[in-house]
């Protein structure tokens, strides 16, 4: 349920699929900060950054020799707290490694309800997610934690994962988001570039990641999940980061990874609606409620623009994102004199 003006609430029709609903989790993921689990310094710094989610990494940012030690450090950092409203996640190693099961068991046993989500990398089929779902269930039960309380984010980062993305998105009610992993994906496809998240030089077809981005987004939305874009590795290239973030935000993505404090503001701002768009979304919701709910019309006019049920759905998404980003309305709706809406041309 998304909340609007006082006394008004709407079910986000069309977003409710599966047993978790993005709008119900209330979790904003505009910025998802990657933090090496073996670095006490980076972990301490992460607490103070204005990001929506932090994931403490046990996978590619941690050397094999330090994996075991990093598990304990990550669990301790979660237990110690200080994370404010951030989503607290841990990225474990992928299911083909010898570390994955101990990562999950040790972190959840030691951190308990201080971990919100497990990020599972290199998911190439639904069985990977099923494995994690069952293991989490066993540890939750053993530790007396709420059943199903820990969520899952699945990283889609190779050709097999993308080919199976619909089945992956449907594999567990714990799933909250699908995450595109450009570095591993570029390697899996043999893309000729070493610049993670940037367009491969020489490609003349437009956006080299468009197919993967849209494929993941469709699979995610079909199951009511969020879609998150992975890293942009050139941390000093703010313009390139902004372009990459703006492009997926326009497509509908909910957020993007950040690797460095200098990337946070750019990504937060690209994934927050503008004040004008947020105000407009709230006005559409009010106008729709008034004209359709109170006056019994199917469509109405607002400032010369026809609004109908499809407009309401779009406005719900923008309004929810604006509220999650902490925006406040600067305009209010006043019912005007009765107007007659033009009949929808074929509807939407």
Question: CB 172 → ligand GLV: shortest distance, Å?
Answer: 20
Question: CB 104 → ligand GLV: shortest distance, Å?
Answer: 18
Residue 231 interaction partner, one of ligand GLV, Mg ion, none, beta carbon < 5-8 Å per kind: ligand GLV
Which residues on adjacent β-strands are paired with residue 228?
179, 255
Residue 124 interaction partner, one of ligand GLV, Mg ion, none, beta carbon < 5-8 Å per kind: none
Per-residue contact flags (x/-) with Mg ion for residues 176 to 195, judged by CB under 5 A = -----x--x-----------
Question: CB 184 → ligand GLV: shortest distance, Å?
Answer: 4
Residues near ligand GLV (CB under 6 A): 121, 155, 157, 181-184, 196, 230-231
Q: Which of residues 123-162 bind Mg ion (CB under 5 A)?
A: 157
Question: CB 185 → ligand GLV: shortest distance, Å?
Answer: 7
Question: CB 189 → ligand GLV: shortest distance, Å?
Answer: 12
In terms of CB distance, is 21 or 184 closer to ligand GLV? 184
In terms of CB distance, is 151 or 230 closer to ligand GLV? 230
* Among 77, 86, 148, residue whose Cα is nearest residue 107: 77
Question: CB 206 → ligand GLV: shortest distance, Å?
Answer: 20
In terms of CB distance, is 23 or 155 closer to ligand GLV? 155
In terms of CB distance, is 75 or 123 closer to ligand GLV? 123
Residue 114 interaction partner, one of ligand GLV, Mg ion, none, beta carbon < 5-8 Å per kind: none
Considering CB under 5 A, how many residues would be counted as binding Mg ion? 3
In terms of CB distance, is 229 or 282 closer to ligand GLV? 229
In terms of CB distance, is 92 or 283 closer to ligand GLV? 92
Question: CB 55 → Mg ion: shortest distance, Å?
Answer: 12
* 3-state secondary structure string across the chain: CEECCCCCEECCCCCCCCCCCHHHHCCCCCEEEEEECCCHHHHHHHHCCCCCEEEEECCCCCCHHHHHHHHHHHHHHHHHCCCCCCEEEEECCCCCCCCHHHHHHHHHHHHHHHCCEEEECCCCCHHHHHHHHHHHHHHHHHHCCCCCCCEEEEEECCHHHHHCHHHHHCCCCCEEEEEECHHHHHHHHCCCCCCCCCCCCCCCCCCCCHHHHHHHHHHHHHCCCEEEECCCCCCCCHHHHHHHHHHHHHHCCCEEEECCHHHHHHHHHHCCCCHHHHHHHHHHHHHHHHHHHHCCCCCEEECCEEECHHHHHHHHHHHHHHHHCCCCCCCCCCCCCCCCCCCCCCCC
Which residues of this protein are in contact with Mg ion, per CB under 5 A?
Answer: 157, 181, 184
């Amino acid at each position: 349920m998304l909340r609007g003006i006082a006394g008004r609430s709407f079910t986000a029709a069309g977003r409710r699929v599966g047993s978790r609903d993005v709008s119900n989790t209330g979790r904003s993921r505009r910025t998802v900060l990657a933090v090496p689990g073996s670095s006490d310094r980076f972990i301490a710094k992460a607490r103070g950054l204005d990001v929506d989610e932090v994931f403490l990494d046990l996978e590619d940012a941690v050397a094999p020799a330090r994996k075991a030690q990093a598990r304990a450090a990550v669990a301790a950092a979660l237990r110690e707290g200080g994370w404010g409203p951030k989503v607290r996640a841990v990225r474990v190693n992928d299911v083909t490694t010898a570390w994955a099961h101990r990562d999950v068991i040790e972190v959840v046993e030691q951190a308990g309800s201080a971990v919100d989500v497990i990020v599972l990398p290199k998911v190439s089929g639904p069985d990977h997610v099923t494995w994690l779902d069952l293991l989490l269930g066993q540890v939750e039960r053993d530790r007396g934690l709420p059943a199903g309380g820990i969520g899952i984010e699945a990283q889609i980062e190779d050709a097999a994962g993308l080919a199976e993305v619909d089945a992956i998105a449907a594999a567990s009610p714990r799933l909250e988001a699908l995450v595109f992993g450009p570095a591993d994906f570029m390697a899996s496809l043999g893309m000729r570039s070493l610049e993670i998240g940037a367009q491969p030089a020489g490609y003349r077809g437009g956006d080299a990641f468009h197919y993967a981005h849209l494929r993941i987004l469709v699979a995610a939305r079909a199951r009511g999940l969020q879609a998150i874009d992975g890293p942009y590795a050139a941390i000093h290239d703010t313009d390139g980061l902004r372009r990459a973030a703006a492009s997926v935000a326009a497509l509908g993505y909910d957020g993007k990874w950040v690797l460095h404090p200098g990337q946070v503001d750019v990504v937060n701002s690209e994934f927050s609606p503008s004040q004008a768009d947020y105000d407009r979304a709230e006005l559409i919701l009010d106008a729709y409620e008034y004209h359709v709910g109170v006056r019994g019309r199917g469509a109405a006019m607002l400032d010369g623009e026809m609004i109908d049920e499809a407009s309401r759905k779009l406005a719900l998404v923008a309004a929810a994102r604006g509220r999650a980003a902490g925006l406040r309305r600067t305009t209010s709706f006043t019912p005007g004199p009765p107007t007659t809406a033009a009949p929808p041309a074929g509807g939407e």
